[in-house]
Structure 1
Amino acid sequence: MSRASAGVRVDGYCHSRFEAVAEEFSKNFAEHGEIGAAVSIYLEGECVVDLWGGVADQVSARPWTRDTLAVAFSSTKGLVAICMHLLIQRGLLDLDAPVGRYWPEFACNGKEGITVAMVLAHQAGLPVWQQTLPAGALLDWDLVTGQIAAEQPLWEPGTQHGYHAVTIGYLEGELVRRVTGKSIGEYLRAEVAVPLAADIWIGCPREEHHRIATSYFADPNPQSPFFAKLAREPDWVGAKLINNIGGDLAPASINGAARRSAEIPAAGGIVTAHGLARAYAPLSLDGSIDGIRLFDEDMLPLMRTTRSASSMDTMLRIPTTFTLGFSKSWGAYALGEGEHVILGENAFGTPGFGGSIGFADGDARLAFGYVMNFHGPGVGLNRRGQSLIDATYRTLGFRPGRTNAWVR
């Protein structure tokens, strides 16, 4: 299909059943400031939507194409979680084992009892680096993993949860390295991306950089509970989520070659929408797709079952719910733009800073990927991605539930 919306060309494929999704996708360009984006949906293991439009770079007007890559920020977390569950399935990681079993240097300063499960559920008490990191620190694996191994938890591990926005990736990535000898980017490519033919990277090689869209950023939402607390209490420890990451969120860093090539496993994935949906497709079925088995079916409940939930996330200041490595629905529409992630009641995945998302829903037998280069306000989805999700669930006959989720 090809259509124009306010002068923006939208290309790709959309099954006629999902015309409402295509309409919302076009509306995002016409009404909601979309610059360049793509959305891909698998249903029953078949790709039923694969749309893209707009421009990957505003200066050159380079068009967005099917193989345009985008920075996925925290949508990367779900890809890392898939890797972690592969290691659990293979008996290489024990959820109840202390992290120190695999990473001996970590077992100090009150972290001796932190388990693998606590890390995956954002309960480890290590949501930020407390010691000031130098500029460019996230590009130095040994520096940031060594620093987190030396610090003390902010709370008694396992007693509460708070979003480990960036630290969780290095905690997980170092566990992967310790038990496999591979970096998280190498493991993802070998065990997930290549077998599934999914265009997903953590550490994108230079020869692929020409495909990456330039990232653009909205101003923070001053009504966001997180940013409002930051304004009231500039010395609040949660401020370190964004101001103690070595300047990583500066546009020059995000769009720089060094970061694109670096392995930043909680916030640095570079993917296509189709690749993101493809990675989740086996998880929406029985653990396999097209004859390729990624997981045994009995592993799937472990991925989708809530492990930690709260009406007030210690860091994000909104209701959040986590499984082992994945997110479920967050917040509520009433909290405003960028302060919610509303999925099916048994869906699991991860949203990314600015509004990208990938997730699987076994009830709907649905896998979903959405990426864009204009990163909106808030800490969750914004109206662009949420409108696509809402149209998808309505098409499949789901309805809004009483607990901020879509239900049959």
Structure 2
Amino acid sequence: MSAETGARRVDGEHPRTEMIVDPRFLPVADRFFKMFRDTRNGGGALAAYLHGEPVLDIWAGWASRDKRWTHDTVALSFSTGKGVASTVLHRLAERGLVDYDEPVATYWPEFGAAGKESITVRELMSHRAGLHRARGLVPGRFGLLDSDAVASALAAASPDPRRLAGPGYHAVTYGNLVAEIAIRVTGLSFTELVEQEIAGPLGLREFWFHVPQDERHRIARVFPRLNPTPAPWAVTGTVLSRLPGLRGVAEAGMAEGFDELARSPAAHDAVMPGWNGVFTARALARMYGALANGGELDGARLLKEETLEQVLEVQTRRRDYVLGIRPNWRLGYHPGWVALREQPLQSIGHFGFGGSGAFADPETGLSIAFVTNRLGSVTPISDMRFPRLGAAGVVVARRAA
């Protein structure tokens, strides 16, 4: 490991094989390395930018029982990918292809069925479309892999009436909804759009929903099982769907066979931007590094400053009927929740099921991202590993300001 100032940049075409640790971020690195002491802890990677410069790029632990995590290991990061998908749509909005306050049906006519004709892009991106249900949405244990079938089912679905009282986290369906709008207004596949709008400008390839076949050997093995109880997944989902306080979670995130699907190689054959994104921490930190730096990084402008102003604006402060909390949704992001009394209230990002996450804090110029193959708690968004790492990073960034 080399201790460096942030002056040396990550080369997008040839990723570094040595680690980066800015001396100011040594406490953050120490916390990270203590997390991966044996194979039971799996592995992970942590990366950060400060004012557009890389200050952390580190990794540790095991990608599988007999394989160490290396500089080019990638990980399935679940809902962390929602932030990437949202950034794609913001890029299209900047060019006038999408208007946040237009009905979704303007771009996707079939969407106007079943009373959804007035639902806007803004409402959809802040989880107020009432289309949170993944459970029973499409038939078959691996039905969610058919993105066309999922899009058709969502277009035909009736919105949940609770949408009128507050947001309901679209845990699985959000990515399909955003991707379909993007596809309709461009005529390109979502894989092409991610390459064109995110990976290409940032010079890093590892923004994958459909993972190229020749890159799959790099994917860390996810463990343990997703099921939060000893009972079979189907039984657990059925029971939770009947409990008033947990019904929304079961509807949104416990589709039939999803526990098997998330661990199957078939998950990398499809484009499901709400949950099947595969990334390096380096790539995520670079994307959010631009958002923390006025929308620009290394001379590449990802978003205009006026777009960032809209992106940072809280869209709803109401209680989310799926999560049971007030996430204060932005346009496709939530704040970077960290284990601090003084939260980074102007931050934007997205955490993922089981522990991964990334966010940008424009107030300090910090972006930070964490990916792991060791699933932590079974909460719908994350566990405490990344909130603690993020907190340590924010503390350093505030001192450096």
**Which residue is 1:172 aligned to?**
178
* Structure-1 separation of matches of 2:165 and 2:289: 33
Paired residue total: 377
Superposed displacement of residue 383, structure 1: 2.7
| Correspondent of 1:109 among 102, 105, 114 | 114
Q: Give the letter for the 1:186 counterpart.
A: E
Output the aligned Cα RMSD.
Answer: 2.8
| Correspondent of 1:305 among 308, 313, 327 | 313
- Report SS of the residue matched to 1:267: coil
Q: Which moved more, 1:166-175 or 1:197-206?
A: 197-206
Q: Does 1:243 align with 2:254?
A: yes
Matches within 5 A, 1:255-294: 255-294=263-302
TM-score calculated relative to the size of structure 2: 0.87
Superposed displacement of residue 83, structure 1: 0.5
Q: Give the letter for the 1:44 counterpart.
A: H
Superposed displacement of residue 319, structure 1: 2.8
Superposed displacement of residue 64, structure 1: 0.5
| Correspondent of 2:155 among 149, 153, 165 | 149
Q: Does 1:139 align with 2:145?
A: yes
Label 1:139 to 1:100 Cα distance change in 2 as closer, same or farther (>3 A).
same
- Report SS of the residue matched to 1:360: strand
Superposed displacement of residue 158, structure 1: 4.8
Question: Would the aligned equivalents of 2:347 and 2:360 in 1 still touch at CA under 8 Å?
Answer: yes
Superposed displacement of residue 183, structure 1: 2.0
Label 1:132 to 1:288 Cα distance change in 2 as closer, same or farther (>3 A).
closer
Q: Give the letter for the 1:394 counterpart.
A: V
Q: Say which structure is richer in strand.
A: 1
| Correspondent of 2:103 among 87, 90, 98 | 98
| Correspondent of 1:323 among 312, 321, 330 | 330
Matched-pair identity in %: 35
**Which residue is 1:370 aligned to?**
370
Label 1:44 to 1:216 Cα distance change in 2 as closer, same or farther (>3 A).
same
Question: Would the aligned equivalents of 2:42 and 2:374 in 1 still touch at CA under 8 Å?
Answer: yes
**Which digits, 9 at most, give the CA deviation of each residue in 1:330-357, with x for residues without a partner?**
5x96xxxxxx999511110000001111
**Which digits, 9 at most, give the CA deviation of each residue in 1:35-92, with x for residues without a partner?**
100000000111100110111011xx11111110000100000000101101111100
* Structure-1 separation of matches of 2:327 and 2:38: 29
- Report SS of the residue matched to 1:204: coil
Q: Which segments of 5 or more consecutive residues in structure 1 lack a partner in the other structure?
A: 4-9, 334-339, 399-407
* Structure-2 separation of matches of 1:176 and 1:270: 20
* Structure-1 separation of matches of 2:36 and 2:224: 16
Superposed displacement of residue 30, structure 1: 4.1
Label 1:31 to 1:259 Cα distance change in 2 as closer, same or farther (>3 A).
closer
Superposed displacement of residue 137, structure 1: 1.1
Matches within 5 A, 1:8-407: 12-30=19-37, 34-58=41-65, 61-129=66-134, 131-133=136-138, 134-155=140-161, 157-198=163-204, 199-217=206-224, 230=240, 233=243, 236-244=247-255, 246-250=256-260, 253-310=261-318, 312-329=319-336, 344-377=344-377, 378-397=379-398
**Which digits, 9 at most, give the CA deviation of each residue in 1:94-132, with x for residues without a partner?**
111111111111111111111010100001111114645
Q: Which segments of 5 or more consecutive residues in structure 2 lack a partner in the other structure?
A: 4-16, 230-235
**Which residue is 1:403 aligned to?**
none
Label 1:101 to 1:341 Cα distance change in 2 as closer, same or farther (>3 A).
farther
**Which digits, 9 at most, give the CA deviation of each residue in 1:130-150, with x for residues without a partner?**
645321111101111111111
* Structure-1 separation of matches of 2:280 and 2:145: 23
**Which residue is 1:402 aligned to?**
none
- Report SS of the residue matched to 2:303: coil
Q: Give the letter for the 2:168 counterpart.
A: G
- Report SS of the residue matched to 1:350: strand
Question: Would the aligned equivalents of 1:329 and 1:342 in 2 still touch at CA under 8 Å?
Answer: no
* Structure-1 separation of matches of 2:137 and 2:144: 12
